[in-house]
Amino acid sequence: GAVVSQHPSWVICKSGTSVKIECRSLDFQATTMFWYRQFPKQSLMLMATSNEGSKATYEQGVEKDKFLINHASLTLSTLTVTSAHPEDSSFYICSAETGAVYEQYFGPGTRLTVT
């Protein structure tokens, strides 16, 4: 089956610094990638949708200047959390779509802890 990887799987950073999370589709080209945030005991909340070569579409309430998304190629999307604060600590999950609607594959997630 299709595989999506995320790197790093776990990161700790200091408040005020920036962190970049990578999402890669390993064996298929992803026309669209999605970024989710998951709090403990909570649902996955869609943050943004990105298409290769174009600007990401952010969900209401998500700060686009804080959560920078770059979808530079059909196999790579990155999420950069800028000037991170403890409240940004969360589990970030990406998914990649093959081109068929709703044929999405999810990455294993990245645990971000901001101290």
Partner 1 sequence: AQSVTQPDIHITVSEGASLELRCNYSYGATPYLFWYVQSPGQGLQLLLKYFSGDTLVQGIKGFEAEFKRSQSSFNLRKPSVHWSDAAEYFCAVGAAGYSTLTFGKGTMLLVSP
Q: Which residues bind partner 1 (CB under 8 A)?
A: 4, 9, 32, 34, 41-46, 49, 93, 95, 97, 101-102, 104-109
Closest CB to partner 1 among 42 and 83? 42
Q: Measured from the CB of residue 46, what is the shortest distance to partner 1 in angstroms?
A: 6
Closest CB to partner 1 among 10 and 18? 10
- Buried b / exposed e across 61-80, counting CB within 10 Å, b at 16+? ebeeeebbbebeebbbbbbe
Closest CB to partner 1 among 44 and 68? 44
Q: Measured from the CB of residue 89, what is the shortest distance to partner 1 in angstroms?
A: 18
Closest CB to partner 1 among 2 and 68? 2
Q: Measured from the CB of residue 38, what is the shortest distance to partner 1 in angstroms?
A: 9
Q: Measured from the CB of residue 85, what is the shortest distance to partner 1 in angstroms?
A: 25
User: Residue 72 is encoded by which pair of tokens?
Assistant: 């530079």
Q: Is the peptide bond before 108 cis (omega within 30 degrees of 0)?
A: no
DSSP per residue, 36-97:
EEE-TTS-EEEEEEEETTSPPEEPTT--TTTEEEEEEETTEEEEEE-S--GGG-EEEEEEEE
